[in-house]
């Protein structure tokens, strides 16, 4: 077989058994004659060949890449076919080449790179104390490894469970831990469940040392989950409302990841978004504490709500 075709998958989405794949591909030595969408069990669907104009790709790869984009949709009506196992194959006169699993996350284009940046910054600091908020392994995921070797890890969650060292409410951090206790903090898919994130930011400042580094990830778009304790969604510009000089923080980086399509249940003139990517599933921020804060928010959860975090995972 000859040289592997060059390609990039820009979109892989599923809706109502329709598989949509777009991107670009071209063969440097032999042109791509056709493509097939393949699934386990031998099911395959022909989807033509790349041929849409691609001046952006040609700018970096030359005239061979001038018409190498593709945008295909396939209806897979067999309910036994695992759509997430889709594999796109490129065919040339020299053979067939697989793009691999289309459902594999793309680390470069998502907020995942901030996790690597966060871990790298901790590796350059003296060993300290690491706090993870929302540490319960509710999905079987444990992130203790984000604390570098030699660091002391504390997992906090509103409920007891695996990987939880301290049970408590993130709105009351200063009542759970001494002042300036920690040198790093993280929270993954937690901020949307904190009813008063501004109070949380103030409380967090009190238990962090100056220079402490933090990483939060949450959602910009996501179905309602764990109701009634699903309160907020965050854009990349929203973080400055919580992490700013007045609350004693400096934002280092923000990022949006996992582009999403917002599909209305009923279209009309206002909600006819079409295929426009109107949102992102994830939003992340990397930050550090720069100083103390004099702010306070003397309101407790029981003052404004009589609900509690659900004890079982509820459907979205």
Nearest to 216 by CA among 281, 153, 284, 154: 284
Report all structural domains of the chain as residue ranges with CATH numbers, in order of start. 6-101 (2.60.40), 112-304 (3.40.50.150)
Phi, psi of 191 (to 5 degrees): -60, -30
Phi, psi of 193 (to 5 degrees): -100, 0
Asked whether residue 109 carries a pLDDT value surpassing 60, the answer given is no
Cα 176 to Cα 169: distance, rounded to the nearest angstrom? 9
Ordered strands of the 18-26 beta sheet: 6-15, 18-26, 69-75
0.85 surpassed by pTM = yes
pLDDT tens digits, 114-154: 999 999 999 989 999 999 999 999 878 899 988 999 999 99
Asked whether residue 1 carries a pLDDT value surpassing 60, the answer given is no
Location of structure tokens 């049970």: 167
SS3 content of the chain, % helix, strand, coil (to 5): 20, 35, 50
Band of pLDDT at residue 101, cut at 50, 70 and 90:
confident
β-pair partners for 185 = 131, 214
β-pair partners for 35 = 90
Cα 294 to Cα 289: distance, rounded to the nearest angstrom? 14
Q: What is the mean pLDDT of residues 66-79?
A: 94
Asked whether residue 315 carries a pLDDT value surpassing 80, the answer given is no
62: alpha, beta or left, given left = phi > 0 and alpha = psi -120 to 50? left
CA distances in angstroms from 162 to 133, 137, 154, 254, listed in the order given = 13, 6, 12, 30
């Amino acid at each position: 077989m000859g040289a592997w075709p060059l390609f990039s998958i820009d979109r892989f989405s599923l809706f109502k058994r329709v598989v949509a794949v777009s991107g670009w591909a071209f063969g440097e030595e032999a042109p791509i004659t056709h493509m097939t969408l393949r699934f386990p069990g031998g099911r395959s669907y022909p989807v033509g060949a790349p041929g849409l104009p691609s001046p952006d790709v040609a700018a970096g790869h030359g005239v061979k890449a001038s018409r190498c984009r593709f945008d295909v949709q396939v209806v897979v009506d067999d309910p036994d076919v695992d759509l997430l196992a889709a594999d796109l194959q490129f065919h040339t006169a020299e053979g067939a080449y697989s793009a691999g699993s289309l459902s594999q996350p793309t680390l470069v284009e998502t907020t995942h790179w901030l996790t690597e940046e966060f871990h790298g910054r901790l590796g350059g600091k003296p060993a300290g104390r690491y706090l993870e908020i929302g540490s319960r392994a509710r999905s079987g995921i444990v992130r203790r490894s984000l604390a570098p070797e030699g660091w002391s890890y504390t997992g906090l969650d509103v409920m007891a469970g695996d990987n939880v060292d301290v049970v408590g409410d993130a709105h009351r951090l200063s009542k759970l831990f001494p002042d300036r206790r920690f040198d790093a903090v993280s929270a993954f898919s937690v901020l949307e469940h904190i009813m008063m994130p501004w109070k949380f930011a103030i409380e967090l400042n009190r238990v962090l040392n100056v220079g402490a580094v933090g990483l939060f990830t949450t959602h910009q778009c996501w179905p309602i989950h764990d109701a009634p304790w699903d309160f907020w969604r965050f854009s990349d510009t929203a973080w400055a409302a919580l992490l700013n000089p007045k609350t004693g923080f400096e934002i280092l980086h923000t990022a949006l990841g996992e582009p999403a399509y917002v599909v209305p249940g009923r279209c009309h003139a206002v909600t006819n978004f079409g295929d426009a990517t109107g949102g992102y599933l994830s939003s992340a921020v990397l930050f550090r504490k720069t100083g103390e804060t004099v702010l306070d928010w003397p309101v407790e959860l029981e003052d404004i709500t009589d609900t509690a975090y659900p004890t079982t995972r509820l459907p979205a």
